[in-house]
Amino acid sequence: MTRIISGQARGRRLSVPSAGTRPTSDRVREALFSALDSHWREQDMAWRDIVVLDLYAGTGALGLEALSRGARSAVLVERNRAAARTMSQNVEVVACPGATVLVRDAAQLASTPPPHEPANLVFADPPYDVPAATIAGMLDALLAAGWIRADATIVVERPERDPQTPLPAGWRLDRRRPYGDTALWYGRAAAQPDETAGKGTSHA
């Protein structure tokens, strides 16, 4: 059973497709969101400040959990049409405003403009056979295309046995946390030097 852990939709059960997805376990999601809660407090931020991009969203559990906790919006990306239909049902069950479902291949997302403001929280839970270098290239392209903010928090779920970072070169790796066969990689997006050279320093 997959359920919403906390927030206004706490306890609501999410449907899971019979095949084609690998939902993040409740145990791992609890650890992930506990870490994010601490991170936002350290940054003097709240969930209402958060715009989510959930890649390889599957059931939508990560993005919907964020919305339940008060995130401003979440774009849920899933290329499997059966999974996307289930995810749309889950959006209705959770009944939190701000969810957008995109039936797209996350790897091709950067070829189109984002529907909303850039995300400052990105979840990526690709199939375990997708190489880390492919994920890093996708994230870099999404940053360049305006889907991700240059200071966004990134969380990537990977097989614990793979030591290769899924973050692009120049991005900050904060920590890697193993949970059984799964590992969560936490990091921060960063603009490449040639994107910021000569522009001085600005503050949002």
Q: What is the pLDDT of residues 150-197, one digit of tens each?
A: 999 999 999 999 999 999 999 999 999 999 999 999 999 997 654 433
pLDDT at 116: 80
Where the chain has pLDDT below 50, the residues are 194-204
pLDDT at 193: 52
Residue 197 in any domain: the answer is: no
Which range of residues forms the domain containing residue 121?
2-14+23-191
Residue 36 token pair: 């994010």
Per the CB < 8 A criterion, the answer to whether 79 and 106 are in contact is yes
Residue 156 in any domain: the answer is: yes
pLDDT at 19: 63
Residue 8 in any domain: the answer is: yes
- CATH number of the domain encompassing residue 119: 3.40.50.150
Residue 128 in any domain: the answer is: yes
Per the CB < 8 A criterion, the answer to whether 64 and 29 are in contact is no
What pTM does this model have?
0.91
As a whole number of angstroms, the distance between CA 17 and CA 43 comes to 36
pLDDT at 20: 57
Residue 196 in any domain: the answer is: no
Residue 200 in any domain: the answer is: no
Residue 63, number of CB atoms within 10 A of its CB: 32
Residue 59 in any domain: the answer is: yes
How many structural domains does the chain have?
Answer: 1
Residue 200 token pair: 């001085």
Residue 203 in any domain: the answer is: no
